[in-house]
Chain A
Amino acid sequence: MNEGGFFGEYGGRYVAEVLRGPLENLENEFRLAQTDEAFFSELENLRRNFIGRPTPLLPALNASSSIGGADIYIKLEGLANTGAHKINNAIGQALLAKRMGKTRVIAESGAGQHGVACAAACARLKIDCVVYMGEEDIRRQRPNVYWMKLYGAEVKSVSSGTRTLKDSVNAALRDWASSWENTHYLLGSALGPSPFPDMVRSFQSVIGRETKAQLGDVTPDALVACVGGGSNAIGFFEPYLEGVRPILLGAEAGGRGAGIGNNASRISGDGRISIVHGYKSRFLVDLDGQVLPTHSISAGLDYPGIGPQLAYLAESGRIRFVSVRDDEALEALKFFAIEEGLIFAMESAHAGAAAITLARSLGPGKTVVVNMSGRGDKDIFISAAALDGPAWKTFLREQSITEEDS
């Protein structure tokens, strides 16, 4: 499927000459590691004993009967150490970095989940870690910043551009352009210049492989995942990409609805072909190719581009995409909390909402598997403010007074 880093016309390696060598080197090292049994046995060991794999696959009986449609299964990826699927890739790449003799890892972070995963993986593997995070994201995801620091990582605030995920990618690329000799750039999503999309899919495909094994005799009719950059989706879908079944459904951030700056729907919205952050894909750019602002209630889906393989599979029709608005994600968050005792990450709640709709339309006797890519503990400041505004504000006020007194 992947010729020279391309998926159809998407992907590639559109970087300045300075990064060409380091990426070629990374590709070679990744290829070598893939045939290295010692590497894989160490990775397997970390998956089991550090990440906590396999993560459960829950038959969501209450949710299914409440909806009255297809049977829903939920892959509880959010039960992985650090709270999301991001750790699968972080530990894989950190191990690779160590194998390459790198002593320092840099990472970008939006929601902070990838930053936390990198910081934890680097702590575990004893590598220095620097996480670039936009000022705006630091404000939105403060708790994750504390965790990163507790793991010993340095968090560098990015004040350029829109001060969000895309700017932290720029900052990390700039760092790497002068630090590649001792530094690995641990990119967190299935995008960026080749070989990152392949590498990230490879490390995340553990989600799909486990799910397939856990389903046993059950043949799923549909798989549903949320899509920011697309790392959980491509990893979850990976064993099912060949062929035409099951239905593969990606949920993009519909934000506040249609219109520039209101969402992050690249496929289901107004994405245009462009080249940004080292790869060709569909981006939310204007007619001049300038990257547009995006919005989502979930920081992890608030990104203007989509992984090149997903863009390709959207075009080929293998993966369908829908937009899920902020309010629909919040409804799904409440639904799965009440029905199943699960708090989805705000990102994953987009997949949850799409799964509910799909389960209803497929009807009884069918099977829908949704990936809860993360758990929602990290979102308490956002979800509580959205669902329980006044009481939450009062609590915060009281809490800050208590803190000052103590």
Chain B
Amino acid sequence: MNSDVKASLITHMIAGYPDFEKSLEVARGLIAGGAYALEIQIPFSDPNADGPLIENACRVALSRGFKVADTWRLLEVIRAESSIPIFLMSYASTAISCGLANFLRRAVEFATTGIIIPNLVPGADEGLFRTAAELGCPAVPVLVPWISDQRLDEILSMPIDWIYVALRSGITGAYTQIEAPQRSFLAKIRTRQRRPRIMAGFGIQKTAQVANLLEFVEAAVVGSAIVKTISGARHPGEAVRKLVGELQNIKLPKTPG
């Protein structure tokens, strides 16, 4: 295994967790750690495509009064400091609450690269895929490896730049082995002529997993491992900076001070 691989890590974080200021520190830490992109999740009361860890983090953020509008405030601050690609993740309920098109327009204002809404899938998407592409921040469909070829064609025919492959059945959080079925699914997509870029995640916690995965995809998504690190850290920004560095197997310079 080549240990000097320059990993492309998409790091997932929850806006407003553990609070607004600290989530900003987390974003800064992830950027400083060398993340390729941020996936910023808007907290939702009932995030049932996520595991208990992320649900709890959402609850913490909401109990401290986090509003959807605070997401835009967070993005504004991050954008003033960095041009890192940002994927915005939301559930349908929060995304449509003030009109899906309005939501997408706000996202575009902050140069969002893509929108991830796991419970709006192609064919049952409230016009998400078309509108998001028109506005210039295409939606990112979340796929699972055992979908039919017909369904895969259907999804890949959408106006998209990226797809998100959820590597295992179930929800976020549990450890995933990258095994033959997942590998062959990823290989299948790679043979397509005009294929979107692939981010893959669900259960990525180890440097070896990241390195292994990056042989097949453009980016590995790390989610629950980051939330876990934040929940136990006194200085979440610094803690996630270290984690991202470790996951990419990159030696980081000592932090000043």
Separation of A173 and B168 alpha carbons in the complex (Å)? 15
Q: Which parts of B81-118 form the interface with A (CB within 8 Å)?
A: 91-98, 118
Q: Which residues of B contact A273 (CB under 8 A)?
A: 96
Q: A276: CB under 8 A from chain B?
A: yes
Q: When A160-B52, A277-B48 are in contact, do A289 and B93 touch as well, CB less than 8 Å? A: yes
Separation of A278 and B48 alpha carbons in the complex (Å)? 10
Q: Which residues of A contact B48 (CB under 8 A)?
A: 169-170, 173-174, 277
Q: Which residues of A contact B67 (CB under 8 A)?
A: 288
How extensive is the interface on chain B, given as a class?
35 or more
Q: Please give me the residue from chain B that is nearest to A290 by CB atom.
A: B45
Q: B147: CB under 8 A from chain A?
A: yes
Q: Do A276 and B142 have beta carbons less than 8 Å apart? A: no
- Give A17 Cβ to nearest chain B Cβ, in Å: 5
Separation of A16 and B91 alpha carbons in the complex (Å)? 10
Q: B191: CB under 8 A from chain A?
A: no
Q: Which residues of B contact A289 (CB under 8 A)?
A: 44, 68, 91, 93-97
- Give B174 Cβ to nearest chain A Cβ, in Å: 8
- Give 27 pairs: A residue, B residue, CB < 8 Å, sorted on A: A14-B120, A14-B124, A15-B124, A16-B121, A17-B142, A18-B49, A18-B169, A21-B148, A160-B59, A161-B59, A169-B48, A174-B170, A177-B169, A177-B171, A178-B169, A178-B171, A180-B169, A273-B96, A275-B96, A275-B126, A276-B46, A276-B93, A278-B119, A285-B97, A287-B98, A288-B94, A290-B93
Separation of A401 and B141 alpha carbons in the complex (Å)? 59
- Give A144 Cβ to nearest chain B Cβ, in Å: 24
Q: Which parts of A259-298 form the interface with B (CB within 8 Å)?
A: 273-278, 283, 285, 287-291
Q: When A161-B46, A288-B68 are in contact, do A13 and B93 touch as well, CB less than 8 Å? A: no
Q: Which parts of B105-153 form the interface with A (CB within 8 Å)?
A: 118-121, 124, 126, 141-144, 146-148, 151
Q: Please give me the residue from chain A that is nearest to B97 by CB atom.
A: A289
Partner of B93, one of A12, A174, A285: A285
Q: Do B98 and A290 have beta carbons less than 8 Å apart? A: no
Q: Which residues of A contact B13 (CB under 8 A)?
A: none
Q: Please give me the residue from chain A that is nearest to B165 by CB atom.
A: A17
Separation of A172 and B246 alpha carbons in the complex (Å)? 35
Give the A-B contact count at a CB cut-off of 8 A. Answer: 103
Separation of A17 and B98 alpha carbons in the complex (Å)? 25
Question: Which residues of A are at the interface with B, using a C-beta cutoff of 8 A?
Answer: 12-18, 20-21, 160-161, 166-167, 169-170, 173-174, 177-178, 180, 273-278, 283, 285, 287-291
Q: Which residues of B contact A15 (CB under 8 A)?
A: 119, 121, 124
- Give A224 Cβ to nearest chain B Cβ, in Å: 31
Among A12, A13, A180, A276, the most chain B Cβ lie within 10 Å of the Cβ of A276
Separation of A354 and B79 alpha carbons in the complex (Å)? 56
Q: B222: CB under 8 A from chain A?
A: no
Q: Which residues of A contact B143 (CB under 8 A)?
A: 17
